[in-house]
Amino acid sequence: MIQFHDDVLWVQEEDGRLLPFDEQRLATSIQKAAEKVGYSEWWLGESIAAAVHVFAVKSRSQPVIPSTEISEIVGTVLATLGYEWISEAYAAGADRVAIHLNELAWRTNAGFELEFFQQLDHALGAAANRRLVAMRLDGLRACVMQLRGARRWTAGCRRLAEDIVEHVRERVARVRSQRAASLKLAVVE
């Protein structure tokens, strides 16, 4: 579908970034929430995403909408249509983030720890979301082994793992709003 200039909508993330409204991405996230609660053949995700897009375009004087407002609109629409379970699953999905440290390390060349920490900082930007309640970082051991190019766990590996965990704690504390809900942080080897 070709969008006219009047139909362009930008989504403002909690960190201030502007992203184009992606109707298909929204429909997919609604469908995933439906599947979590047993509605595997549910068909309204695309219609709801399209309705949210039209509503946001028509009801706003500026072509920018906060991501939190989109989540609230979707939750309200789902509950109004009688799909409270899907609404709750959708809200819960937006409140949790998983970062796979081993995948970040794999994308970084061995020995380039600075590049890894830059990628990690980018991924930790999600911690700025006021609604985020849980963040899981997994693959720590595999990540460290990849970054060190090590075949076995050494004292240097242990120090790097401690540095990564400390970096995550400091970064989350720095970007997290004082008004935000408490955040449960889990780092798993």
Task: Sketch the domain layout of the chain as residue ranges.
Answer: 5-93, 95-187
What whole-number distance in Å separates Cα of residue 74 and Cα of residue 84? 11
Q: How far apart are CA 136 and CA 71, in angstroms?
A: 21
Q: What is the pLDDT of residue 46?
A: 93
The per-residue pLDDT for 187 is: 77
Which residue ranges of the chain lie beneath pLDDT 70?
1-7, 14-15, 93-96, 109-111, 126-133, 177-183
Predicted local distance difference test score (pLDDT) of residue 165: 92
Q: Helix H segments across the chain? A: 23-36, 45-59, 67-80, 84-94, 101-107, 113-123, 140-148, 155-175
Give which of 23, 24, 20, 17 is closest to 8, Cα–Cα: 20
Per-residue pLDDT, 175: 74
Question: If 0-12 CB within 10 Å is exposed, 13-18 middle and 19+ buried, where does residue 139 land?
Answer: buried
Tokens 């409204």 belong to 21
